[in-house]
Amino acid sequence: MNYLITIIGPTAIGKTSLSIALAQHFKCQIISCDSRQFFKEMKIGTAVPNDEELAAASHHFIQNKSIFESYSVGDFEQEALAKLSELFQKNNIQIMVGGSGLYVDAVLKGFDDFPDIDDSVRTEINAKYDALGITYLQEQLQKLDSEYYQKLKTENPQTLQNPQRMKRFVEVSIGSGKPYSSFIGKRKNKRNFTPIIIGLEAEREIMYERINQRVDIMLNEGLLEEAQALYPNKHLNALQTVGYRELFDYFDGKTTLDFAIEQIKMNTRRFAKRQITWFKRTENVSWFDYLMNREEIIKNIELKKK
């Protein structure tokens, strides 16, 4: 039987160091599912493992794409599953690590099947969004799939502010004539592995302090210069990312540098809270304090393999 040890948790909690320790113990390799560490132009601001960490264990899906390439979560799912099938031939234990909940779910569970939608529907929705804004999408979803709208409002309100996600919900509902939620959970995706999910957590004050420290380290390592080099391409989707957006505002003259740095810290803390909310809904997770002895975590994994 194959096992995929999956390490989840908020940013700056210590997932990378744990994944390397486990990879060395089990003599296996690491699949990264951090949706921003894929991009080779974004090294400092995405906290890519350093050269020493990358040398300590074999990593995959780190800086393997360009910000100029189109790369979806569906693309990642297919490529990650193919890589895992290859790696499982060498060792029946492999590791996946990352803080992008949607990408973790893509590998562990896959996606539901949705119908093909006529391009004319998408074009019309885009035009109305351009004219009326996010309110149009919210009102449409509330009318077409009120149950799903209420679920998002209660459990994941930030999604209601995400134009790309909202456009998708509305276009499926209009194009199919059925509520978006009616397609969820219908497809069973088979996997050739059993997940063993390890979650890392810390007291909120500790987590926030670690985030603030990480931002300071990034700045010392050259985040400002990295963002400056990427500034001409600030419109690209990959760069709509905490740590870059705030500095782009500074380059635009909208804020001071000190304010931009404080915004990076605040927005990263908010991002960590959203990560925790997402991962706490994940089933069958063994949660550990971020300082937990590695041997105890390994014992937990060994018990789940039996």
Residue positions in the annotated binding site for ATP? 9-16
Per the CB < 8 A criterion, the answer to whether 186 and 112 are in contact is: yes
What's the rounded Cα separation, in Å, for the pair 241 and 4?
Answer: 28
Phi, psi of 23 (to 5 degrees): -60, -40
Which tokens sit at 284? 């069958």
Burial class (CB in 10 A: 0-12, 13-18, 19+), 114: middle
Name the strands in the sheet holding 194-201, side by side, starting at the edge strand that comes first in the sequence. Answer: 59-60, 30-32, 93-97, 3-8, 194-201, 285-289
Q: What is the DSSP letter of 31?
A: E
Residues of each annotated binding site for substrate: 11-16
Which tokens sit at 36? 């921003």
Dmax (CA) of the chain: 59
Phi-psi label, residue 48: left if phi above 0, alpha if psi -120 to 50, beta otherwise = beta
Angle, helices 101-108 vs 73-88, to 10°: value is 50
What's the rounded Cα separation, in Å, for the pair 39 and 34?
Answer: 10
Per the CB < 8 A criterion, the answer to whether 284 and 301 are in contact is: no
What's the rounded Cα separation, in Å, for the pair 91 and 166?
Answer: 41
Per the CB < 8 A criterion, the answer to whether 166 and 159 are in contact is: yes
Q: Tokens 């809270």 sit at which residue?
A: 273
Residues of each annotated binding site: 9-16
